[in-house]
Each structure stands twice: as structure tokens, then as C-alpha cells.
Amino acid sequence: MTPESTRTCDVVVIGAGPVGENIADRTTVAGLSTIIVENELVGGECSYWACEPSKALLRPALLRADASHVPGLNPAVAGPLDVAAVLAHRDRMSADWNDAGQVDWLRSAGIELLRGHGRLDGPRSVVVRTPDGDTVRVRARHAVAVCTGSRAALPDLPGLDAVRAWTSREATTARQAPKRLIVVGAGVVGTEMATAWQALGSQVTLLVRGDAVLPRMEPFAGEFVTERLREAGVDVRFDTTVSAAKRVGGAEDDLLVTLSTGEEIAADEILLATGRAPRSEDIGLETVGLVPGDWLTTDDTLTVSAVPGEWLYAAGDVNRRALFTHQGKYQARIVGSVIAARARGTAPDTAPWSGHSSTADVHAVPQVVFTDPEVAAVGLTSVAAERAGRRVEVVDYEIGHLAGALQYRPDYRGRARIIVDPERRTVVGATFAGPGVAELLYSATVVITGEVPLERLWHAVPAFPTISEVWLRLLETYRDRTER
């Protein structure tokens, strides 16, 4: 047995996804020696099993949907997608699941990579079990940052292991389109993968636990997506879940699924898109007084609240503040600056403008759902505002009334909604549903984060003819309503 070796550095980062990479970059630039620990691929979930491969699968489907409605193009895109070409593009966007490029970047940034499974072992100590079976103990002078992300949360379904169900990982990396695919869950993963695989030739059945697709967003967004899924051929079933599933004989090993309605349906694969859980069950949380498998609660400096000494940080999905790659990278920048400040003996300034406070996780979290049509949202929804007891006014505008939208697609259907605080006269939420609306989201995020008064927004002139002209129409609608 190889004896344990010991290393010492300023900062240890557990997890080399986008979040961990950004923390390590910031601390290294600040002059702190940093070791990053990774037991899978450098680049993490987003690069290989989530954002990159899923958008590579979706882009051809969405582009064809737009082109099929454009005069002069629609006959040219009437045929099926070239599945092999789409999957090859997906593979390229995922770097063929080879992290050599990411490893080279770490090296160029002066960040040391230690491959293996990292576990906390008391304050400022991480034990790493390497692929060769060696054990390396790394002691951190200043900080340890946990960036282990999240995994698919699976339902308590009898015989689940034998079913060989897909999670988001299998859905984004499959080598061929299944003839029949059941998707359980109608959140972001469920609706995006239903969109992608239906376009790639699968017959998709989407099972929705409640009465709405994308239930956490404005209802009209889910209604638009449901309509287009059905037009594309997806069998959308509301108030339906899975009560049992099993593989049954035959060379193809068919899947037989029993629904909560009592009906049985056959499929080739089943995707369980039923939520996320933290990857924290085996990272040594018990050695610092925390519960394995729990989310890590932090304050706004991303310091783990229940651990004394201000040395343990958690960023990205594992802290459950906002489960998006862009928010995790935002948090990473804050963690890096906070660790650097404390290492200098300086207390971080937690004012919102200091760069040491993770306020965007609460006030303005942007999200895009890359379905047909796209859905983009930031800030409060009307329901969230009502639950919070906020007095707000809801302003809607049909995007299809805009010349820019009709140039995009002659039969354009979509809607924009802003949530206005009438006392402060600022926008506190925005949702857009329609083709191409993802590019409207940053302007909405700036408006909400910057608390831009409506009176100033009048002087932000949108170009004609673009979909961004919807901002002018929303302001006009609100003005006309309030001046009656």
C-alpha cells in the first residue's frame, strides 16, 4: 500500500467544472497557490453532459423550426434532420469528452490539477484518492471551496436499476435516437430534451405531474411551449406520473411503463427529468459537522454558514442558491475575491457594489429555456410577486405585433411580460416567450439589476425593425394604462 503523502497550498478547490475553474483562476491571479481536485473531466457537467451538448442538439431543431416558416426557405427544410450530422456536431461541441484542452488551460493559468476523489477531512484539510489508488492529503492555509455541483434526483421507482433509465447525462450523450422515448418531468431538462429528440426522429411522450409545462415560469410560456410540442408530434399528458416500469423480453429489451392513470405504454427509453440533488454525499461533510448529501447553505460571501472560521466556501449548484452555470461562475468570481481579501487580512466589503456579495442570486437570476419557442425570464414572475406580498402591475405585449418579429417569422407568435413596481417605478421581473427571445434577456437583466426608472427607459431607443422594440411597446402599454 502506498503511504499517504502530504501537500500544502493556499487554496484547495474541490470540483473542476466552470465554477471551480473560475475560483481557482481568481485565487491564482491574486497570488495564492491553488490546487484543484477533479475525479471526472475538467470542465464539468456543463461542458460534457449539460449546456454544451444539449444546446448542440437543440440548435438544428430550433433553426429548422424558424426556417420552415420563412418564405423561400420552407420547402428546403421540409425533410428530416441529418441525425448523424447533428450528433457529430454535439460530439465536437463536447470536445469528444476529452478534457485535454481544459487541462492545458489550467496549466497555462498556473493552476495545479490533482485528479482523484476529494473529501474533506477536518478544517482546511482535503484527502484525495487518486486513480492509481494513492492517497494525497492537501492542507490549505486559507480556504477550501466546494464546487461539486448537482446530479439528477431520481424518484423512488421500484426496479429502477433494472430499467436503465436515462438521466440528463444519457439524454445529452445518446449515440442514436430511440424510436420511442418517455420523458418524465416538464421542467427545463424535460421540455428541452423532448424538443430535441422529437426533432431527431423519436416519438416522445412527455408526462407532466401537474397541469402545466414549465410550472415555475409565467403560465403563458408553458402554454406556448405545450402548443408547439404537440404540433411537432409530442404526446403531452398532464396530471400523469409513472407508477412502475420494467424491461420486458425480446432482443430490443422493450420498456413497459405503467402510468398513474393505470394505462401501460411501451417505449425504448425513459428519461427521468425530475429534479436535481447536490453532489455532496461523499465529500467528507461529516468531518466538519455537516450532513452528507445536504445542500450547503452559505451567506452572501458564499462562506458555508454552519462551519466556523470562514475557511469553507460553496459555489455553484451545491449551495442551491441558483442552479445555473452562469450564476455559478458569478458566485465563483465573488468567492475568489473574498478568499483573496481574507488572505490579505482584509474583511470583505459586503456592499452590493463591492464584488464581494452574491446579490444576483436573489434579485435577478436570468434563465433561458431553449425550446420552440424559446422562453427567457429574469426576476419575479407575477405569481412569485403575489406570494411575496409585493404590490406590482403586470404589463403584457404580443411580440407578433412587431415588424421585427414578422421579419423574423411571418407567423410569429410570442408574448412579453414585465412586472412593474408602481411605487418605485422600476421593472422587477420580465418574461419573454417566442422565437429568438433569448437575446432580449440581458437587457432585461440590466434593467432589473440597475433598477432603471421607467422614465429613463424611455430614452433607451430600440432599433427598428428588431424584436427588441417590444421594450418600447411595453412602456407605451404601461403609460396608456396609467394615464387613463
Query: pLDDT-derived band of residue 125, with 50, 70 and 90 as boundaries?
Result: very high
Give the pLDDT confidence score for residue 252 in this predicted structure. 57
d(CA 219, CA 199): 24
Boundary residue ending a domain (333, 361, 389)? 361
| Residue 336 counted as domain residue | yes
Taking 70 as the threshold, does the pLDDT of residue 354 lie above it?
Answer: no
Are 207 and 192 in a shared domain?
A: yes
Backbone angles phi, psi at 246, to 5 degrees: -155, 155
Mind listing the pLDDT tens digit for each residue in 391-424? Answer: 999 999 999 999 999 999 999 999 999 999 999 9
pLDDT at residue 1 tops 50: no
Asked whether residue 195 carries a pLDDT value surpassing 90, the answer given is yes
131 and 189 belong to one structural domain: no
Last residue of a domain, one of 330, 361, 392: 361
Q: What distance in Å separates the CA atoms of residue 123 and residue 12, rounded to the nearest whole number?
A: 12
Q: What is the pLDDT of residues 467-477, one digit of tens each?
A: 999 999 999 99
> Three-state DSSP class for 373?
coil
What confidence score (pLDDT) does residue 351 get?
A: 52
- Calculate mean pLDDT across residues 443-460: 96
Distance of CA 350 to the CA centre of its chain: 26
Q: What is the pLDDT of residue 105?
A: 97
- Measured distance CA(105)–CA(99) in Å, rounded: 10
Residue 367 lies in a domain: no
The pLDDT tens digits of the residues spanning 65-74 come to 999 988 888 7
Written as nine digits, the cell of 180 is 420511442
Bridge partner list, 415: 398, 433
* pLDDT attached to residue 250: 54
Q: Which CATH number do you get for residue 326?
A: 3.50.50.60
Residues 350 and 424 reside in one and the same domain: no
| In a shared domain, residues 141 and 34 | yes
Asked whether residue 348 falls in the same domain as residue 473, the answer is no
Rounded mean pLDDT of 455-466? Answer: 96
Torsional sign, CA 384, 387, 388, 390: positive
pLDDT confidence tier of residue 232, bands split at 50, 70 and 90: very high
Domain shared by 339 and 320, yes or no: yes
Asked if residue 82 lies in contact with residue 88, where contact means CB atoms within 8 angstroms, the answer is no
Q: Given a cut of 90, is residue 26 above it in pLDDT?
A: yes
Q: Model confidence over 135-155: pLDDT tens digits? A: 999 999 999 999 999 999 999
- Asked if 35 and 127 sit in the same domain, the reply is yes
388 located within any domain: yes
Residue 171 sits in the same domain as residue 145: no
Same domain, 17 and 140: yes
Q: Is residue 65 part of a domain?
A: no
- Residue 12 and residue 135 share a domain: yes
As given in the structure block, the three cell numbers for residue 325 are 452555470
Mean pLDDT confidence for 124-134: 96
Domain count of the fold of the chain? 3
Of residues 250 and 321, the one with the higher pLDDT is: 321
For residue 484, is pLDDT > 70? no
Asked if the structure places residue 76 within a domain, the reply is no
Give the lowest-confidence range in 55-59, 110-114, 409-413: 409-413
- Band the pLDDT of 156: cuts 50, 70, 90: confident
CB neighbours of residue 389 within 10 Å:
6
The answer to whether 232 and 372 have CB atoms below 8 angstroms apart is: yes
Q: Say if residue 305 is in the same domain as residue 323.
A: yes
> Which H or E run includes 269?
strand 269-272
The answer to the question of residue 412 being in a domain is yes
Res. 193 pLDDT band, cuts 50 70 90 = very high
Average pLDDT over residues 164-173: 96
- Where in the sequence is the domain holding 267, given as residue range(s)? 160-275
Give residue 44's pLDDT band: very low, low, confident or very high (50, 70, 90): very high
pLDDT at 251 over 50: no
- The x, y and z cell numbers of residue 88, run together, are 457529430
Do 35 and 125 fall within a single domain? yes
The torsion defined by the Cα of 329, 468, 447 and 54, in degrees rounded to 10, comes to -20
Percent of the chain with pLDDT over 70: 97
56 located within any domain: no
Which of 255, 275, 295 delimits the end of a domain?
275
Closest CA to 160 of 85, 245, 75, 82: 245
Cα gap 1→390, rounded to integer Å: 62
Is position 72 within any domain?
A: no
